[in-house]
Structures are given as structure tokens and as C-alpha cells.
Amino acid sequence: MLKNLASLLFGGTCFLCRGAARDVLCAACDADLPRLAPQLCPRCALPSPGGTVCGRCLARAPRYDGTVAALAYAFPADTLVHALKFRGELALAPLLARLLLERLPPLRAVDCVVPVPLSSTRLRSRGYNHAAEIARPIAAALRAPLELSLCERRRDTAPQLELPWSERERNVRGAFASSASVAGASVAVVDDVMTTGATLDEIAAALKEAGAARVVNWVVARTLPPG
């Protein structure tokens, strides 16, 4: 069904190379995606020898309990994310959701799936929340409730993309709240890209304040630190 929809929307051509494709991407472009190596820190999904908790997380534990990321935020993952986020290519969402689903561990039961919220101004101007579009097929596949309004933005923040890394933490501090109690719940927070993790850390703090027992991040792409 989704495949048919995709070929209808993309006319049977690969979104990246315009060659013949039965899905959004042809098999060659799909195989070339910058999938992350398996040895990642289970907490923040940055490369870590042996797949152990990395030094950064040991020195200063994030408030989320774990992170799963499918791709490195490099070409052409950035092209796909941008097209979904800024150009309204909504048919890319099921593809990004599938890449993330492929990466989730076998034990991945959660009580609910929560997309990172957009500010209401941005939601109005864009018309959709790309993170919610990615979260929807994931929640459906796992038969978990999709909670679109559980995590709220208390205030508008400058887009993290426009800020230097050093200012991102301060920009989002206290920016989120949970609209309901999630006492004892295991919550998965879905986003397109994780860069410094500052936004996801604040969201995890808000959900834990509302009683969540466990908060894990499921992100399509992970920005690797410079250098």
C-alpha cells in the first residue's frame, strides 16, 4: 500500500538518482545510505568502541536513557531530511520511519511514541510537523499510541540549526512540558536529527518530571561531532 503510494507520488523514479525504482529510493541508493556502524554509545548514539557508554555520557549523564539512530547526518541523509522538513515531501516520512524501525532493538516495547513538537508558529507556517510524520508509521508498526500533544513547547525558541552548538543548551532550557502525567511509563521520543542532544535532553527532563520511568530517543539521523 505505502509502496504503491510512493510510486504514484514519485512516478516510479528514485527520489535521489531519478533512476527506476519500485520504492521511494532505488535499491542502489538505499544500500548507499550512510547507515551508522553498530558500535555506538547506547545512551547518545555516538560512535563508541565496543558499543559501551561513551566518556561524554559517563562524565555528564543525559536525562534520556538511550538513543537509537539509523543514519549519520551526512549526504544523502541530509537531503532526505531537508526535503521532508522544508519542501513538504511527506512521502519520505514512511521511508525514514522504516530506516529507524530496522534499527530498533528487538525489545522495543514502549507505552507511547512522542514526536518532538514544533512551535505553534512554525507548525502554522509549515502546516505539518515532520517529526510527527516520521513517528506515525513507527507507532502504527509497534501498535503503540502516538501522543501528538503530550509534549508541549512552553515557549518559542530560536531554531537550534541557527545557533552555535555552545548556545543550544541554553536556548531550549525549560522550553518543554508534559501536558499529562506519564507515571511509570516508558516513552519513545522521535525526531529527524539529533545534533547536540540538547532538545532531547530537555524533553526527557520534562517527561521524567511528569513521572516517566524511561525515556528513549529514536532519531533518523545523528550528527557526528566535528573533527
What are the strands of the beta sheet with 112-115, ordered from one edge?
66-72, 214-222, 186-194, 112-115
Q: Which residues pair with 146 in a beta bridge?
A: 113
Report residue 190 CA to chain centroid gap.
4
Q: Verify binding: residue 172, Zn ion, rule CB under 5 A.
A: no
Question: From CA 115, how far away is CA 45, in angstroms rounded?
Answer: 18
The count of chain residues that interact with Zn ion, using the rule CB under 5 A, is: 11
Please report how close the Cβ of residue 116 comes to Zn ion at its closest, in angstroms: 19
In terms of CB distance, is 47 or 111 closer to Zn ion?
47
Please report how close the Cβ of residue 22 comes to Zn ion at its closest, in angstroms: 11
Residue 117: what residue type? Answer: P
Is the preceding omega at residue 76 within 30 degrees of 0, hence cis? yes
In terms of CB distance, is 62 or 115 closer to Zn ion?
62
Please report how close the Cβ of residue 191 comes to Zn ion at its closest, in angstroms: 17
Q: Are the CB atoms for 25 and 15 separated by under 8 Å?
A: yes
- Interaction with Zn ion in 86-145: which residues (CB under 5 A)? none
Counting Cβ atoms within 10 Å, is residue 130 exposed (0-12), middle (13-18) or buried (19+)? buried
- Interaction with Zn ion in 5-44: which residues (CB under 5 A)? 14, 16-17, 19, 26, 29, 41, 43-44
Please report how close the Cβ of residue 173 comes to Zn ion at its closest, in angstroms: 20
In terms of CB distance, is 39 or 120 closer to Zn ion?
39
Please report how close the Cβ of residue 86 comes to Zn ion at its closest, in angstroms: 21
In terms of CB distance, is 56 or 122 closer to Zn ion?
56
In terms of CB distance, is 142 or 224 closer to Zn ion?
224
Q: Which residues pair with 187 in a beta bridge?
A: 112, 215
x/- mask, Zn ion, residues 51-90, rule CB under 5 A, reads: ---x--x---------------------------------
Sign of CA dihedral 23, 24, 28, 34: negative
Please report how close the Cβ of residue 54 comes to Zn ion at its closest, in angstroms: 3
In terms of CB distance, is 132 or 189 closer to Zn ion?
189
Pairing of strands 214-222, 66-72: parallel
Cell triple for 51: 558499543
Report residue 117 CA to chain centroid gap.
11
Question: For binding to Zn ion (CB under 5 A), which residues are involved?
Answer: 14, 16-17, 19, 26, 29, 41, 43-44, 54, 57
